[in-house]
Chain A
Amino acid sequence: MRSAFGKDIARSIKGSLGRFVAIMGIVALGCGFYAGLRMCGPDMRADADRLYDGTNLWDVRLISTLGFSDDDLRRVSAVEGVRQVMPSRTFDAMAHLGSEQVAVRVSSIEPELAEESTAEGDYVVSSPNDAYLNRPRLVSGRWPRERGECVVSADAPEAFCKTGDTIELLYGSTDIDELIAVRKLQVVGMVSSSNYPYTGSFGSTTLGSGIIDDYLFVAPESFDEDAPYTEIYLTVEGTSDELSESDAYQEVVGATKGRLEGFEAELSSARQADLKAAAQETLDEKWAEYDDEKAKADDELADAKAELDEAATKIADGEAELADGEAEYANGVAEFEAERASVLAKLDDAQGEIDENQRTLDAKRSEWEQGRGKLLSELGATSISDAKDKLSAQQGELDKTKEELTGQRDGLAAQKEGLEAQLAQVQEQIGQLDQLLGAFAQRAELEATAEALNAQIKALEEAGDEEAAAALAEQLAQVQAGIEQLDGVIAASGMDEATATAAREQAAAGVAQLEGGIEQIDAGIAQIDDGLAQIEEGRAKLEEGRTGIKQLEDGKAQIDDGQRQLDSARSQLAGARATAERELANGQAQLDDASAKLNDARTELADARDKYAEGLAEYENGVAEADEKFGDALAQLKDAQREIDEIERPDIYALDRTQSEGAATYHADAGRMDNIARVFPMIFFLVAALVSLTTMTRMVEDDRVQIGTYKALGYGTAAIAAKYLVYAGIAGVVGATFGIAVLTQVLPYIVMSAYSIIYTVPIHAFPIPVDAGIALSAGGLGVGVTMLATWGAVVQSLREVPATLMLPRAPAAGKRILLERITPIWSRLSFIWKVTCRNIFRYKRRFLMTVIGIAGCTALLLVGFGLHDSIWDIIDRQYGPIIHFDTTVGLDGDAIELDVRRACDYLEGTGEVSDIVRVQNENLQAGTATSNETTRVNVVVPRSAAEMSTAITFKNRLSGEELAFDDDAVLITEKLSMKYGVGVGDKILIFDQDDVGNAVGDGHALTVTGVAENYVGNLVYVGRNAWASVDSSVPVFSTIYASTTADDAIRTSIAGDLHDLEGVSTVIFSDETINTYRNMLSVVDMIVVVLIVSAAALAYIVLYNLTNINIGERIREIASLKVLGFTRGEVYVYIFREIALLAVMGDALGMVLGIFLERFVVTTAEVDYVMFGRSIHPASFVYAFVLTLLFTGMVLLSMRHKLDKVDMVESLKSVD
């Protein structure tokens, strides 16, 4: 049975695939849409959480109005629950980025921490250091390493600058000199920080337009080294397991935040003490410095005084000296005159003596001339030199003769010597020869002795006296030896006795000859000695002549000498005279000099006196000045001391992520998605129920006979119903699974992609996680609705008894409809129209299904287009109809009237700008006495209430009436009015705000006089008189509104010129603002597309199903028509006309439904800062209407073949 039952179901599905698919489709759409939209919020939150955890984003942020120190850091990290702490220096400043001047947030980043971190994917930045919080991800370039380098946001909606550009920090909300050490920063890279997930506004500030346009990170080197930390970021134990900003997360964070808040008082006292101590130390140093300076100055003044006194003494001395000098000079002059007279007299005496001596010398000279004449004549010479020559010549002759004689005497002497030598030689020869002759004689004697001896010996021997004989023999031997010796001598002479005797005689003759020669020579020598004596006589005579000449010459020398002495004396005198004259001149000059010097001294003295007077005056000034300066310094020091004493305990705030604009905005948007998800899918579920109901009803009716048969066979009601429930269940489960699987990916992806235009949170990669609870509830709801509808369809038929079921069901009775009773209309309708009209109201379920389905489709379209209108209206209605100015020039807080006027004058002077209006613009907070929430508002106080209408039109949107604006007016913008429920006559409170954007103080109440239409921002327009009750000081009206038609180039040049003017801080052309909004709001275009697509899907499923049922149910009717000869076109018209009519009715209903739905979506999707347009444009109604009809037409076109396929023969053959 089970298998037969199963087969039956399988065949049913196969046999009616269209029906099955229709249920599946609508369930898929309903469940998918529900689950998909429901997942958007959780997915967005999960993605944010993933990013926050991945980048170690802070959980709590501490801000102090007086900063933090390292000690504070330690104190905070000791608080229970605090996991990691990281200090930061952050401040807001206006900066030049590219050609723009925008508000930026500058924070410090530790280069080492940044360098060692690595980006993994687009949502994780890992770092070995756990204490590295809020890790930015480097998108391009590199980290800042040195002073003057920075990285900027890669996420800024307007790319103000790029790597390599230079950013100039202009001024901050407070004095940034104490914080930052450099003003020009070079961009070295681009980063994305999870701390700034919302690109529409990186935060609020009191600067510029009130919105942070860009953020930078700089290395700590760029900060002033004494700059305190401005905030402490910290993470809390146990938060990484919890979804950011979920209740569990808030609970964990809240506990630690609470402890921190409890610790605030202690922290703030400690900070106060630290600051006081540090300041006191500095001040004490200043005190010491003051004392030093004072002492030094006193010393200097004393020195100056001493110098002056000294100068006075010197002047007195100088005067005395001058008097002395004058006396000395007079003396000098007298002495000089006396000296001159004496010198001249002495010179004259010397001249006289010289003249006397000259005369004596002249007498001696004439005496000498006489002596000379006498001698010359004696010598027969013409002159003394001639006489000398003559005497010399005689002398020479004598000398020559004497020489000759001496030579001759010497020759003779030499001859004599030679002869004497020869003589000596010969006499020696004679001696030798005598000796030889002696030898001859001796030998002969010896030979005689020898013979004698021989004979004796022979005798003795013969005698036998041997002894005697021997003795004699010995004697004989001696004699013999003598003979031999003599023989030797003789042999040596070579001569014999005769020769030797001859030679003796010859030698004796030679001796005689030689002795004769010697006597001759001695005679010659005597002659010569006589000649020599004569010569000596001549010489004596010559000596006499010479002596005479000598005497003459001596005399001459004496006279010349005398003359020379005289000349010398004379020249000496001349020298003396010259010297004397020179000396006298010198003397005179010295005197003149002295006189000049005296004059100089007199002048000098006068100068000195003047200088002294001057010095004295200066000194007196100096004393006065010093007194004043030190007086001031003392006052300043005292002030500083008072300031230190007055240092208050800083305000310390502990903020969590809900108080961080970016994270909070994102979280709120995720929440908005939750809200939208609650309403939209209801349409789909409703339609799903209707589709299932009609479809299943049709199915049950088709199966009437079969049901009857089953019943007749004995199947129970439950078993039979089970078939249809299982059928619908399968369709529902398959559809739900498919729809949920697809749309939980597609819808969150589309929504998050759209949001990625304004948020930097990276989208989860496919598959996007699906929450089982949401998926199951969506599926359960979808399947449940289908089953319920099916049960509803089945239960009716099952109540009938089998017998009735076996019979063909009586066709639904034709009925008259209400319209027929209106005869004038009814009678005019062609009968085909009548049929159509009747058919429409014949089947109530189909009617409802179609009308609601189509209405849903139209409503979705209308929401889409309406949302688009509302959003573009923000811009279109805000800029033009309300805001007439397109140029806003803001001057900084301390600008003065002159600055503003200069800017106004410049604008007027350009000729490009008109309608200049001056207002005071304050960034404040607004709230009410009953609400504990406040909203950031711009309070605008115009200088002239009358002028305001040229800049802004104040109009109440609902009543359409223009609002009067005068000096007592207080107009609030519509959004603000709605948020706090404040209307005309109610009071609104205006609060000052602190650095963090929290309201402070009790607020100032203003009575609202009107609610003005406004779309962008929350504003309070306050008249001057009314404002005076809030702030009694007269504002500068430092914001200028103006209009211009100039093109971009001129605007840029105007902006440039304005920035050059003193005090001008912002120049905003609304075009730029509009572009920013366009960017932000293009999110909606995506949603519009999603809505159109889902509307089309809805329309298709509903119409397809309706047509399918229609055709199936009326197949005999269609066949009949065909048999009657209706053409295809006529058949289409006959069947489709009523579907089209239903579509039109649904379309009309959808318009109404859409208006409400759009209103809901708009108010849900709206952010605090803007009010969406509240009206849907007529064109959007037309679009929605026509598009629905277009979808209908398309479905019908695609259904034509179904009609074509209706077979007349088959359809009419039998009863079904």
Chain B
Amino acid sequence: MAFVEFRDVRKIYHMGDVEVRAVDGMNFDIEQGELVVIVGPSGAGKTTVLNMLGGMDAPTSGTISLDGQAISSFGERELTQYRRHSIGFVFQFYNLVQNLTALENVELASQICRDPLPAERMLEQVGLYGRRDNFPSQLSGGEQQRVAIARALAKNPKLLLCDEPTGALDYVTGKQVLKLLQDTCRTMGKTVAIVTHNSAFTKIADRVIEVREGRASRVLTNPNPKDAMTVEW
């Protein structure tokens, strides 16, 4: 059994009389410790996949499991616990708490979970220890995103989910962030899933899931992923 399994997952939204099939029979597996890139055009349903995988949304039908747990059957409370202990999220727009310093933003996450990693170390790991007392508004976008990653990692999650983590960043900074994610996967053995519309990212992935019209149109494994710093786009 794979670490993550998507089996015939559907997500159907009803917008008035219109039925929108955001995810329509998605099937794929992810193994532990892999860096996975989920790629596809806008509106293909990749973010919905990520949301369902992160416990932020529940599928209309089908099963999703992580490490043997059937997430798709979780209630709201279980989903909250799941997000709390098993998932780390990184968003395009960082979503840091503006009123907290970098360190505090990390602590915000580490204070609520069972087995957190030290906040300072996480900041150190993302190279921002020296900026730990700065507020988000005093940090650049890349720095903020690194704080966000530190925050996600501090929870010591089973799965790190990143939704267009470089979307709001410039090329260089984006690369650094991508590198950080890759290193996290490699050095910490975390399973990392990155959602992106940028197919260039597929080069650094252990596994690539191409999503098209709500389905995993292609799942590729990459036996020799490249280093993030070498990727060009």
Contact = CB atoms under 8 A, between A and B. Distances in A.
B100 interface: yes
Given A813-B137, A814-B137, A1116-B95, A835 B100 contact: yes
A835 B104 contact: yes
Nearest to B97: A1117
Interface stretch (A13-21, A88-96, A1123-1131, A1192-1200): A1123-1131
Contacts of B83: 1122-1125
Given A832-B111, A835-B99, A1119-B95, 15 more contacts: A813-B98, A813-B137, A814-B101, A831-B100, A835-B104, A1123-B95, A1124-B89, A1125-B84, A1125-B85, A1125-B87, A1125-B112, A1128-B80, A1209-B56, A1212-B93, A1213-B47
Contacts of A832: 111
Interface string A789-829: 00000000000000000000011111100000000000000
A1124 B112 contact: yes
Contacts of B80: 1122, 1125-1128
Interface in A398-423: none
Interface string B118-162: 000000000000000001111000000000000100010000000
A842 B56 contact: no
A1208 B97 CA distance: 15
A659 interface: no
A1215 interface: yes
Contacts of B138: 813
B109 A1124 contact: yes
Given A814-B101, A835-B97, A839-B99, A1123 B135 contact: no
Nearest to A1215: B93
A1128 B83 CA distance: 13
B210 interface: no
Contacts of B51: 1208-1209
A1120 interface: yes
A573 B138 CA distance: 189
Interface string B42-85: 00000100010010110000000000000000000100111111
A698 to B, nearest CB: 16
Contact of B89 (A813, A814, A1123): A1123
Nearest to B137: A813
Interface string A1114-1149: 001101111111111010000000000000000000
Nearest to B94: A1120
B229 interface: no
Contacts of A1212: 91, 93, 95
Contacts, number: 90
Ranked 5 nearest A-B pairs via Cβ: A1125-B84, A814-B135, A1125-B83, A813-B137, A1120-B95
A834 interface: yes
A958 to B, nearest CB: 49
A262 to B, nearest CB: 80
B78 to A, nearest CB: 11
Contacts of B87: 1125
B113 to A, nearest CB: 7
Nearest to B50: A1209
Contact of A813 (B93, B113, B135): B135
Interface size class of A (residues with CB under 8 A): 20 to 34
A1177 interface: no
Contacts of A834: 100, 104
Nearest to B56: A1208
A1126 B112 contact: yes
A1122 B104 CA distance: 17
A55 to B, nearest CB: 69
A619 to B, nearest CB: 127
A276 interface: no
Interface string A1187-1216: 000000000000000000000110011010
Contacts of B77: 1127
A1122 B108 CA distance: 12
A147 interface: no
B56 A810 contact: no
B107 interface: yes
Counting chain A CB atoms within 10 Å of each CB, which of B54, B87, B108, B151 scores highest?
B108
A815 B101 CA distance: 9
A838 interface: yes
6 contacts: A1122-B56, A1124-B84, A1124-B89, A1124-B151, A1126-B84, A1212-B95
A730 B51 CA distance: 41
Interface residues of B, number: 36
A1126 B57 CA distance: 15
Interface of B: 47, 51, 54, 56-57, 77, 80-85, 87, 89, 91, 93, 95-101, 104, 107-109, 111-113, 135-138, 151, 155
Contacts of A1119: 95
Q: Identify the interface centre among A832, A1120, A1127, A1130: most chain B CB within 10 Å of its CB.
A: A1120
Interface of A: 810-815, 830-832, 834-835, 838-839, 842, 1116-1117, 1119-1128, 1130, 1208-1209, 1212-1213, 1215
Given A1123-B83, A1124-B83, A1124-B89, A838 B137 contact: no
Nearest to A1130: B112
A810 B135 CA distance: 13
Given A1125-B84, A1208-B56, A814 B108 contact: no
Most A-side CB within 10 Å, residue of B91, B99, B112: B99
A831 B104 contact: yes
B100 A814 contact: yes
B79 to A, nearest CB: 9
Nearest to A839: B99
A1124 B104 contact: no
B97 A1123 contact: no
B135 A815 contact: yes
A49 to B, nearest CB: 61
A929 B56 CA distance: 84
Contacts of A842: 99
Nearest to A814: B135
Contacts of A1121: 108
A838 B112 contact: no
Contacts of A1124: 83-84, 89, 108-109, 112, 151, 155
A1213 B50 CA distance: 12
A1213 B93 CA distance: 9
B98 A814 contact: yes
Nearest to A1131: B80
Contacts of A811: 98, 136-137
Contacts of A831: 100, 104, 107-108, 111
A1117 B112 CA distance: 16
A831 B108 CA distance: 8
A395 B89 CA distance: 210
Contact of A814 (B57, B99, B112, B151): B99
A838 to B, nearest CB: 5
A1127 B82 CA distance: 11
Nearest to B57: A1209
Nearest to B136: A814
Contacts of B96: 1120
B155 A1125 contact: yes
Contacts of B109: 1124
B97 A1120 contact: yes
Nearest to A1125: B84
A1213 to B, nearest CB: 8
Nearest to B163: A1212
Nearest to B101: A814
A1047 to B, nearest CB: 65
B99 A838 contact: yes
A1116 B112 CA distance: 19
Contacts of B95: 1116-1117, 1119-1120, 1123, 1212
A1215 B96 CA distance: 13
Nearest to B119: A831
B34 to A, nearest CB: 22
Given A813-B98, A814-B101, A814-B137, A1123 B108 contact: no
